[in-house]
Chain A
Amino acid sequence: MSFDDAYQALTDHDDDARWAYGTGFADPLAGVPTTLPEGVDGADLAAYCLMIADDALILSHRLQQWVTRAPELEDEMAIANIALDLLGQARLLLTRAGEAEGAGRDEDDLAYLREAADFRHVRLAEVRDDDFGHLIARLLVFATWRLALLDRLSASRDPVLSAIAAKGVKEVTYHREYAAGWTVRLGDGTPLSRQRMQAGLDAVWPLIDELFEPHPIEQRLTGVAVDPASLRPEFDAVLAQVLAAATLDAPAPGSATRDAPASGSATRDAPVSGTATHEEAALGKTPGRDGRHGGELAEILSEMQGLARATPGGVW
């Protein structure tokens, strides 16, 4: 290759190799009709899209915070890749939410201009992760749940949701595999890694039940939304298999909420005193889906939305 040929090669812009690890730049919605399916309430569909968009958007944000902090370069790339996949899912779902709502809001209006109480993600997505064990525990739970969800959602009556879900299945299959691989390595690694992996599981365990609690909107959207309760058997079976391979125990039901150490656990904003039952009852069974979030969401939103809100009229 001559000197000038090398410069020439740089101007060949039709080569996808220029993206080392970016994924899916073809439009997954090409040719998919965007009109609402018959008998579907636009407001309900918009609210449902926001739920599963926000799950992806907020967890992607947490993963973005790991960039430049991963334990090894391969993990740097994997974590960024997962964050990018989830961001991509969030963008498509937010766009669909905007279409279904019909008020002219686009993905950026929905991501940058909503208040905390208007976010609809499960609390699992937002909690801070203090070490790699916690990151992996959360990702294992999240990806196992979301893969089961997207798999069923790919049969949704809404053609757009169905197409987004079908694309997501391929991505989240890898996310689950990545998290499961590390769960096994850490669980069956050194005594320290085992302890940290177990602590990560203890921290996320109290947030699992919420994932399977049906919300009235999901119940109304028959054939469009997925009933989360139906995902539990697959989730439990996968978790049992991974934990067995990792020689780890599932935390006892309900135990972790009060026994987990206060520092670095998912229970930072959760009740730990004797009034727990009362406060838990006040949160309801679907706190995230109802917009009841912890103080950690305020931190995420101030970081994510700060610049966009500080430059009104700005174009990016």
Chain B
Amino acid sequence: MSEQVFEATIAKDQRIEPRDWMPEGYRKTMIRQIAQHAHSEIIGMQPEGAWITRAPSLRRKAILLAKVQDEAGHGLYLYSAAETLGADRGDLTRRLIEGRQKYSSIFNYPTLTFADVGVIGWLVDGAAICNQVPLCRSSFGPYARAMIRICKEESFHQRQGYELLMTMMRGTPAQREMVQDAVNRWWWPSLMMFGPPDAESPNTAQSMAWKIKRHTNDELRQRFVDMSVPQAGALGVTLPDGDLRWNAEREHYDFGEIDWSELKRVISGDGPMNRERIAHRRRADEQGAWVREAAAAHAAKRQGVPA
């Protein structure tokens, strides 16, 4: 009976809410997906956060600080959405720092110059938006609603990143080189953000059936390439792909072969910054433990129960 209601709700394109009956597989898949997304927001604070204190103008400093703060907020909504399914934020954080749950591999690359801040906004947030806009229609209600707000903010971040790059391209030759160098480093990792090709994506079929996922990895990747090529032209940078050209027959851009072995390497923990990112998060968690314990002890005293 419950299962029929669940199937009917999905079929009618309506939302599953936390108290509704759902298959265990659906619950587990949703928790995993939302937690990985939350972890990505929190780990994603690090590469750009490293530039807040060094931002070269006060306006850019304020924009970057607000952006990194937004990411903390996204992490918070998402952990809360996962908690509606019975997960616990502290437990999910432990899974992250013990390497038992993943986050987006894109954050395992270093941010070498301030142009990286702009390119992350333009390409990485741009790719995230392509991935996330369809999730505003996720069949799980709390996730879908969180994604609407997150996507709006991501879109604002993307435009700010692009505007920084536009400004830098009007600056000195050294600044223009800095932008091109950052584009060269981030373009291919951005394409990898959509995940493995459809033929090698084991979870896609079930996720599409449950309407957790609405488009395949390759469809979203193509959408991102088609969006980005004219933006690169307007900016005056070259995308580092000799095979990139318009295909009039397909009405899409063709692009070169992605180095999937690199993606596998980074996902398996061997990217340039994997260890640092996790170590940093673990350190913050450990160093904050006494503060969380104090808050719990104080709250217990207030309520007159032992901690």
> Closest Cβ of chain A: how far from B103's Cβ, in Å?
14
Q: Which residue of B lies closest to A194 (CB)?
A: B294
For residue A84, which residues in chain B have a CB less than 8 angstroms away from its CB? 62, 65-66, 69
A73: contacting residue among B72, B149, B175, CB under 8 A: B72
| Stretch touching chain B among A181-189, A253-261, A281-289 | A181-189
Asked if B136 and A6 sit within 8 Å, CB to CB, the answer is: yes
CB-CB contacts of A27-65 with B at 8 A, as 1s and 0s? Answer: 000000000000000000000000000000000010011
Complexed CA–CA distance, A315 and B290 (Å): 44
Asked if A192 and B294 sit within 8 Å, CB to CB, the answer is: yes
Asked if A189 and B65 sit within 8 Å, CB to CB, the answer is: no
Asked if A189 and B70 sit within 8 Å, CB to CB, the answer is: no
Asked if B56 and A313 sit within 8 Å, CB to CB, the answer is: no
A189: contacting residue among B79, B129, B297, CB under 8 A: B297
Which B38-97 residues sit within 8 Å CB-CB of chain A? 42, 45-46, 49, 52-62, 65-66, 68-70, 72-76, 79, 89
For residue B290, which residues in chain A have a CB less than 8 angstroms away from its CB? 190, 192-193, 196
B293: contacting residue among A19, A73, A190, CB under 8 A: A190
For residue B74, which residues in chain A have a CB less than 8 angstroms away from its CB? 20
Asked if A6 and B75 sit within 8 Å, CB to CB, the answer is: no
For residue B137, which residues in chain A have a CB less than 8 angstroms away from its CB? 1-3, 6
Asked if B149 and A108 sit within 8 Å, CB to CB, the answer is: no
Asked if B58 and A68 sit within 8 Å, CB to CB, the answer is: no
| Stretch touching chain B among A204-212, A272-280, A301-309 | A301-309
For residue A6, which residues in chain B have a CB less than 8 angstroms away from its CB? 133-134, 136-137, 148, 151
> Closest Cβ of chain B: how far from A20's Cβ, in Å?
4
CB-CB contacts of A93-124 with B at 8 A, as 1s and 0s? Answer: 01000000000000110011000000000000
Asked if A307 and B114 sit within 8 Å, CB to CB, the answer is: yes
Interface size on B, residues (CB 8 A): 64
Asked if A313 and B52 sit within 8 Å, CB to CB, the answer is: no
Q: Which residue of B lies closest to A313 (CB)?
A: B172
Asked if A18 and B293 sit within 8 Å, CB to CB, the answer is: no
Q: Which residue of B lies closest to A81 (CB)?
A: B69
Complexed CA–CA distance, A293 and B294 (Å): 34
| Stretch touching chain B among A7-15, A146-154, A158-166, A214-222 | A7-15
Q: Which residue of A lies closest to B130 (CB)?
A: A7
Asked if A20 and B70 sit within 8 Å, CB to CB, the answer is: yes
Q: Which residue of B lies closest to A11 (CB)?
A: B155
For residue B70, which residues in chain A have a CB less than 8 angstroms away from its CB? 19-22
A71-B291, A315-B175, A316-B60 known; A189+B66 contact, CB < 8 A: no
A21: contacting residue among B56, B57, B69, B152, CB under 8 A: B69
B199 close to A (CB within 8 Å): no
Asked if B68 and A67 sit within 8 Å, CB to CB, the answer is: yes
Chain A: interface secondary structure?
helix
> Closest Cβ of chain B: how far from A197's Cβ, in Å?
8
Which B160-203 residues sit within 8 Å CB-CB of chain A? 164, 167-168, 170-172, 174-175
Complexed CA–CA distance, A70 and B76 (Å): 13
Complexed CA–CA distance, A88 and B59 (Å): 9
B242 close to A (CB within 8 Å): no
Asked if B172 and A311 sit within 8 Å, CB to CB, the answer is: yes
Complexed CA–CA distance, A296 and B153 (Å): 36
Complexed CA–CA distance, A74 and B288 (Å): 12
A249 close to B (CB within 8 Å): no
CB-CB contacts of B269-299 with A at 8 A, as 1s and 0s? Answer: 0000000000010011001111111110110
Complexed CA–CA distance, A292 and B68 (Å): 33
Q: Which 7 A-B pairs have the closest CB atoms?
A: A71-B288, A189-B294, A193-B294, A71-B291, A80-B69, A315-B171, A308-B56
Q: Give chain A's interface residues, CB within 8 Å of chain B.
A: 1-3, 6-7, 9-11, 13, 15, 17-22, 61, 64-65, 67-77, 80-81, 83-84, 87-88, 90-91, 94, 107-108, 111-112, 131-132, 184-186, 188-190, 192-193, 196, 303-304, 306-308, 311, 313-316
12 contacts across the A-B interface (CB closer than 8 A): A6-B134, A18-B152, A70-B284, A71-B291, A72-B291, A73-B76, A76-B69, A91-B62, A188-B301, A307-B114, A314-B175, A316-B59
